[in-house]
A and B are shown apart, each in its own frame.
Chain A
Amino acid sequence: MNGSRPARFGPFHRRSRHNPFENEQISRTSQIFGRPRGNYFAGLFPCVKAWEGPLPAGIAGIEFYTDVEPDPSSPPGWPEWTQDRPGVIILERNELVAIPVIVTMRNDAE
């Protein structure tokens, strides 16, 4: 832990406008989940995806920190945590992964 930071990496956020149950699911489990992007190419592995930075004001979602390092190959602004990276939990190989998170802010309504 570094100073007042609740975990090594963050802040990151998820936006939940398109999945109203997401905030509750993350808060209850302290995990964020990730599936493959789709099936449009065979090299797709499940990974957790988020937005970099704090949750913007007025946006429904969750702000979080984690001790799991994002993939070094993530482009700026779009942290990802891919299956088989250290700390990424494999719930169902090639289908569903998760990372443990510490939620620091929750906004249920935009």
Chain B
Amino acid sequence: MRRASPNELKESAFPVMTARLSEAELGKWFPVSFDEINDAWAAPEPSLGALVSLEAGEYVVLDYGRESNQLIVRIPANLDASSFLASFFREIPMPRARVLWRRADAKLPRTVAAKRIAVPAAISNRAARSSQSRQPGVAKKK
């Protein structure tokens, strides 16, 4: 992802998702510079904002409240919300549990934050042997 310049997106953006995360996580998952918004009439709380371009090319507007620790994710109206979320979660390793709300037309991709589980060595070895035995030219031992 990269921080986009203001003129790269000239249309309105609408909320597609909110999530709760710490400011440290914001910096880790979105390694771009954010603008500080301290004007009380501009934001309901001291906030950080940025226009970001994802690797897939979609633009996303990020607003992060420093008191509530909530991130509001906005996208242009012409963007398909579910496709956007697929690109978003492909690039940003945010666990599904952090999502507080998403728009009704926005489906989370199935692979969001799939939990890593440790496979016991015995099962792992058996799976590897089974895989080998299915390869052409590998004879099964009886």
Residues of A within 8 A of B (CB): 14-16, 18-19, 22, 33-43, 45, 49-51, 73-78, 96
Contacts and interface: CB of A to CB of B under 8 A. Distances in A.
A74 B101 CA distance: 11
Nearest to A16: B40
A34 B45 CA distance: 13
A42 B9 contact: yes
Interface residues of B, number: 36
Contact of B12 (A40, A45, A49): A45
A37 B37 contact: yes
A73 B15 contact: yes
B78 to A, nearest CB: 12
The 10 A-B residue pairs with the shortest CB-CB distance, nearest first, are A19-B40, A41-B51, A49-B44, A42-B10, A75-B15, A35-B42, A35-B41, A73-B14, A40-B35, A33-B41
20 contacts: A15-B45, A18-B46, A19-B40, A33-B41, A35-B39, A35-B41, A36-B42, A37-B37, A38-B42, A38-B49, A39-B35, A40-B49, A40-B61, A41-B9, A42-B7, A43-B61, A43-B76, A73-B15, A78-B72, A96-B41
